[in-house]
Amino acid sequence: MISVESVRRAIRHLGAFGDTDLFPRLPEMRCFIERPEAIAADCKTLNVGQYLPASAIETLTPKSWLGFRIAHQLTASDNVIYLAALLDCAPTLEAARLPKERNEAFAYRYSDEDGFRIFESGRGYHQWLAHLSEFGGPENPFAEDRPAIITDISDFYQRIYFHRIENVLADAGCPDGPRELIKKIIKTTRARQSYGLPVGSAASRLLAECLLNDTDMLLTNIGLKFSRYVDDFRIAVPPGAEAHSILCRLAEHLMVTEGLSLNVSKTKLVSVKEIERTSKNRLQDVFTHSEMEKMRAFITLSYGDDDEPTDEDLINNPFISAEFLMDRLDQIGDTKQIDLSVFKAVLRTLRFLPGIDAERLLDRHAELLYYVPREYCLALSAAAKQGDFPVDIVKTRVIELLGMSPYADLAFVRSWLLNLFVDGTLPVTLAEWQHYDFNRSVVERRSHFFFRGLANDRPYFRALKTQLGSLSEWDKPAALMAAMCLPLDEYKNWLAVALPQLTTPFAATYISWLKANHGKLCDLLSEPHEVS
**Per-residue pLDDT reduced to its tens digit, 396-428:** 999 999 999 999 999 999 999 999 999 999 999
Task: With beta carbons less than 8 A apart as the criterion, state whether 301 and 345 touch.
Answer: yes
User: What does the angle CA 502 – CA 508 – CA 513 come to, to the nearest 5 degrees?
Assistant: 110
Q: What is the residue type of 373?
A: P
The mean pLDDT of 480-486, rounded to a whole number, is 97
The tens digit of pLDDT for each residue in 69-88 reads 889 999 999 999 999 999 99
d(Cα 120, Cα 107) in Å, to the nearest integer?
Answer: 9
Q: How confident is the model at residue 285 (pLDDT cuts 50, 70, 90)?
A: low
Question: Given this model, what pLDDT does residue 195 score?
Answer: 81
Q: Which of 171, 184, 179, 202 is nearest to 1 (CA)?
A: 179
Task: With beta carbons less than 8 A apart as the criterion, state whether 395 and 429 touch.
Answer: no
pTM of the model: 0.90
Question: Given this model, what pLDDT does residue 480 score?
Answer: 97
The tens digit of pLDDT for each residue in 217-264 reads 999 999 999 999 999 999 999 988 999 999 999 999 999 999 999 999
Q: What is the residue type of 37?
A: E
The tens digit of pLDDT for each residue in 431-477 reads 999 999 999 999 999 999 999 999 999 999 999 988 998 999 999 99
| Neighbour tally for 445: CB within 10 Å | 17
The tens digit of pLDDT for each residue in 148-205 reads 999 999 989 989 988 999 999 999 999 999 999 999 999 988 876 778 899 889 999 9
d(Cα 447, Cα 479) in Å, to the nearest integer?
Answer: 9
The mean pLDDT of 509-532, rounded to a whole number, is 92
Question: Given this model, what pLDDT does residue 311 score?
Answer: 36
Question: Given this model, what pLDDT does residue 293 score?
Answer: 52
The rounded radius of gyration (Å) of the Cα atoms in the chain is: 24
Question: Given this model, what pLDDT does residue 137 score?
Answer: 72
Q: How many residues does the chain have?
A: 532
d(Cα 309, Cα 506) in Å, to the nearest integer?
Answer: 32
The tens digit of pLDDT for each residue in 306-357 reads 444 333 333 334 457 899 889 988 888 756 677 787 888 889 889 888 999 9
d(Cα 368, Cα 377) in Å, to the nearest integer?
Answer: 10
Q: How confident is the model at residue 288 (pLDDT cuts 50, 70, 90)?
A: low
Task: With beta carbons less than 8 A apart as the criterion, state whether 306 and 15 touch.
Answer: no
**DSSP secondary structure letters along 25-65:** PPTTHHHHHH-HHHHHHHHHT--TTT--PPPPEEEEEE-SS
The tens digit of pLDDT for each residue in 88-146 reads 999 999 999 999 999 999 999 999 887 788 999 888 887 898 899 888 876 665 566 78
Task: With beta carbons less than 8 A apart as the criterion, state whether 15 and 68 touch.
Answer: no
Q: How confident is the model at residue 514 (pLDDT cuts 50, 70, 90)?
A: very high
